[in-house]
Amino acid sequence: MDIPGRLRSEEQCSAIVGSPNISTAAEAAEAAERKEQEEEGHQLNTPWTMWIDKTERGASAAEYQASLKKVYTMTTVECFWAVYRNIPNVRDLNQRYTYHMMRDDRKPLWEDTRNSRGGTWKVKCRKEDSPDVWKELLLAVIGEQFDDFVAEDDDICGVSISIRERDDLIQIWNTNAARHEEAKVVEKVRSLLPGVKFSAIFYKRHETHHAFEGKK
């Protein structure tokens, strides 16, 4: 799925949202949805939900889940832009904060039954590249641009960016870890961002994490 009306939608949303503030992102998205009732909006293939968290290393699943805050569930391109433009840019986030964009209403939890058999591709990027990387990956997932780069019985279900002291951490979530070797996800990321230097690239199954508390 290509994102239709991208520039038009972004310009429309600039009139809807104010200064970046997570606490008003939902209000901005709701305003966008009301506007869509008067104009034809561009539906996403599936809803996508933005989350934010701030956790410390070694946190339990319960502690991690308690730190999660839902920003909004988006169903249209216009709603996406309303949320995106009204939350802090990744360059303005403090260390240990993470944004997640997850398919449907699933939480960014390894133990979620829709995630537990999957894993993530992990890559690092330089801080100066993080805003462009995050924006491009958001557009790629809501536009289903990874469909042809995973196995038929696999799916990209989320993307995260974690702010770290040096390079920032990108994670791309899939649902079927058993088929990850057939995927060309990293190649797709490189093609989307040819000028960005990525490092420390590897794949990790959720169930192999020491802190995983789901059924193995």
CATH of the domain at 50: 3.30.760.10
Q: Residue 215: inside a domain, yes or no?
A: no
| Distance (Å, whole) CA 14 – CA 37 | 18
Do the beta carbons of residue 206 and residue 177 sit within 8 Å?
A: yes
Cα–Cα nearest to 146, from 172, 120, 171? 172
Q: How confident is the model at residue 59 (pLDDT cuts 50, 70, 90)?
A: confident
Q: HSE on the CB side for 206, CA within 13 Å?
A: 25
| Distance (Å, whole) CA 127 – CA 169 | 9
Number of domains in the chain: 1
Task: Give the pLDDT of residue 128.
Answer: 98
Is 169 a residue whose pLDDT tops 70?
yes
Q: Residue 180: inside a domain, yes or no?
A: yes
Is 61 a residue whose pLDDT tops 70?
yes
Q: How confident is the model at residue 22 (pLDDT cuts 50, 70, 90)?
A: low
Q: Residue 216: inside a domain, yes or no?
A: no
Task: Give the pLDDT of residue 60.
Answer: 77
| 150 compared with 36, residue with greater pLDDT | 150
Task: Give the pLDDT of residue 73.
Answer: 95
Task: Give the pLDDT of residue 23.
Answer: 59
Q: Residue 213: inside a domain, yes or no?
A: no
Task: Give the pLDDT of residue 9.
Answer: 39
Angle (CA) 82-87-89 rounded to 5° is 115
Q: Indicate the pTM of the whole model.
A: 0.83
Average pLDDT, the chain: 86
- Full residue range of the structural domain in which residue 62 is found: 6-208
Task: Give the pLDDT of residue 120.
Answer: 99
Q: What integer is the mean pLDDT of 89-98?
A: 94
| Distance (Å, whole) CA 136 – CA 176 | 23
Q: Residue 202: inside a domain, yes or no?
A: yes
